Amino acid sequence: MVLFVTGGSRGIGRAIVEAAVVAGHDVAFTYREAGAAAEEVVDWARAHEPDARCRAYRLDVRDAAEVERVGDQVLDDFEAVDAVVCNAGILRNGVAAQMSDADWNDVLATNLTGSFYVARHFLMPFLAQGRGRLVFIGSLAQNGISGQANYSASKAGLVGLSKALAKEYGRKGITANVVVPGFFDTDLTREGMASGHKDFWNTYCPLGRMGHLDELARVVLFLASGASSFVNGAEIPVTGGLDWAS
């Protein structure tokens, strides 16, 4: 299987790339700025699975033309892509009354519109090959988290996007699903999550802990694979059982 993963240089995306490589898949992944981190991932893949093809591409998902260019390059390099994981995402926290246009627009452009650009690019090749998997990385914030109006709106939008694509393309062999992660230790949560939120998580999560990145990556790989053939338009929580956040 060939996977295309956005934001594979760090955190959850990196864990997905590494799990895919270990499982024997080929992976094209993107980064926006962290070229050195992306190189590290490629080196890691080469060291662990010398036969796997793993390549990094610089891409800002907010730029539709760049998505088209990089998407075409990936299809040239890998001939075909079986599954696309729209993972790239950012936080710009703040209360709504004081949220700047930039913080609103940047989060929506990256998390929602960028995911749409990427999914749209791969729909044509998926239609041509009669199959394809779209996996979107959502968040419990899709139900609303205080101080994250922009992020919450972007993640709720992803659910609508995924469900629409599930209905529009299901009959063509293309599925679309959202994975809803709980709390995972990455740069995003280290830098963007208040300590009160972390305490809340560890107190109220039925498993009493944050998730391990491989626990999330395994679910993503399932959804990217043929094994998930009748899962479509779903939201799959990987939250340890916590189904809300404040």
Catalytically active residues are: 151
- 170 or 244: whose CB is closer to ligand NAP? 244
Place of tokens 């796997």: 52
Q: Output the six-digit token pair for 172.
A: 């063509």
Question: Which among 42-50, 77-85, 177-185, 217-225 is the span making contact with ligand NAP, rule CB under 6 A?
Answer: 177-185
What CA–CA distances, in Å, run from 152 to 73, 143, 156, 157? 32, 7, 6, 8
**CA-based nearest residue to 6, from 47, 77, 59:** 59
Residue choice 142, 162, 186, 228 for contact with ligand NAP (CB under 6 A): 186
Phi (first) and psi of residue 180, to 5 degrees: -110, 95
Binding flag, residue 11, ligand NAP (CB under 6 A):
yes
- 226 or 243: whose CB is closer to ligand NAP? 243
User: How far from the centroid of its chain's Cα atoms is residue 122's Cα?
Assistant: 15
Binding flag, residue 189, ligand NAP (CB under 6 A):
yes
Residue 40 neighbours by CB under 8 Å, 6+ apart? none
Write down the least CB distance from residue 35 to ligand NAP, Å. Answer: 7
Site for ligand NAP in 118-137 (CB under 6 A): 137
- 1 or 188: whose CB is closer to ligand NAP? 188
**CA-based nearest residue to 90, from 167, 233, 193:** 193
By CB under 6 A, name the binding residues for ligand NAP.
6-7, 9-13, 30-34, 37, 59-62, 87-90, 110-111, 114, 137, 139, 181, 183-184, 186-189
